[in-house]
Amino acid sequence: MSDNFTPLTIDEYARQAALTDQRKGKQALSFSMLGVFGETGSLLSEVKKKQRDKASYLGYADAVAEELGDVLWYVASIARRSQISLSTIAANAANGKAKLAPAELTFHALQPAQIPIGKEPTTKFEHRLLAMAGQIGLLVNEYQSGVLKDKARLLDRLTQVMQQLIEAANDAGVTLEIAAIKNLHKIFDRWPRERNYPPAFDADMDIEEQLPRRLTIDVFERTVRKNVYVYQKSSGVFVGDRLTDNALEPDDYRFHDVFHYAHVAVLGWSPVVRALLRLKRKSDPKLDEAEDGARAILIEEGVTSWIFGHAQKLDFFEGVKTGGLPLDMLKHVRDFVGGYEADRCPLWLWEEAILQGYQAFRFLQKHRRGRIQIDFSNRRLRAKELPL
């Protein structure tokens, strides 16, 4: 182990995990119980998917590490809400194998120094997961029956769960330390302690090749030969083509460029807007072809359309507050843009762009016209009434 590497202690993980806990109130412990039960089911599902799609399912190893980290997070949540330290649970689960006091106990101390990497589920791992699921089932059942009001009984039950979790990690070839670190990275990527905005992707480019830091676009409908189109103007100049919904059933997708404007305002990214405003980075042929080219434009349009399909089922995110978009949806969005510069945007920043874009979209739906203002310096997209 490198001299520069500091092993992650159980208590430090628990402390950091607590910073991302969004649940408050009397039902929080029940939520954590549901969470540990659900994540165990997700872990079993990964094994099932690998068995069913053995050759084509390539995400198995990463998914197992992620799901083990999620189970660990909920165990930590249950322990914290029950006023039991996670390190005490881990020390009990180690059965004296870890020669450290609970406060100094590290994840590294819970497992063998060398663990064979598991690329596919073994029979032993499957049995271990079923055993862990059984222990978690007992935990939830005893919680429901009120038995776990006895803290000693709860400690014993959580110890049994932790023992199975450690052995499951061993059998899967996953270090719990890596699973814990990845878990913290994921949850802070989604629910950060501080929202530090990354610099613009084109900060080093000439201003002629930068996306606008401030821009006003007037969006309005106009009827032409009984067909209703959306037009856009900026500084008196038409932007892009006139738009329709391109659908059999009207759904106001004609206003969808507002989502691209939100990408500019919040993410500092939009191959679509670069093409519309002729701001492609021609001085760098690689960026021009890869990041600003036709494929990148299709990726952004695909992301926009995919999110729209989900938004339609959720009242276009009306009433959804910061932190409220589904984590899986945001992860899929980033998978969508994998390999492009936008995949460096944290999940919380994607959420801001999506929510601001849909706030402006709902404004346009209601008023059928509006003045859209991009303000990249403040990472804001605003929609105001457009004078008649």
Mean pLDDT of 147-159: 94
In the chain, where the domains are located = 10-190, 207-384
- Confidence class of residue 260 from pLDDT cuts 50, 70 and 90? very high
What's the mean pLDDT when you consider all of the chain? 92
Percentage of residues in the chain having pLDDT higher than 70: 94
CA distances to 20, 145, 159, 282, 342 from 347, rounded to whole Å, are 14, 38, 33, 29, 11
Mean pLDDT of 52-78: 83
Q: Which of 341, 95, 361, 83 is nearest to 211 (CA)?
A: 341
Distance CA 373, CA 206 (A): 22
**Is the pLDDT assigned to residue 126 strictly greater than 60?**
yes
- Confidence class of residue 316 from pLDDT cuts 50, 70 and 90? very high
Mean pLDDT of 359-372: 98
| Residue 334 CB neighbour total at 10 angstroms | 17
Per the model's pLDDT, the better-predicted residue between 55 and 175 turns out to be 175
Mean pLDDT of 101-109: 85
* Parallel, antiparallel or unpaired: strands 214-224 and 227-234: antiparallel
Q: Which CATH class is domain 10-190?
A: mainly alpha
**Is the pLDDT assigned to residue 4 strictly greater than 90?**
no
Mean pLDDT of 253-262: 97
Distance CA 324, CA 56 (A): 33
- Confidence class of residue 164 from pLDDT cuts 50, 70 and 90? very high
Number of H helices, E strands in the chain: 13, 5
Percentage of residues in the chain having pLDDT higher than 90: 77
Query: Lowest-confidence range among 9-13, 60-64, 130-134?
Result: 60-64
Token pair 């549901």 is found at 34
Upper half-sphere CA count for residue 357 (Cβ side, 13 Å):
25
- Confidence class of residue 1 from pLDDT cuts 50, 70 and 90? very low
pLDDT at 178: 92
Per the model's pLDDT, the better-predicted residue between 89 and 50 turns out to be 89
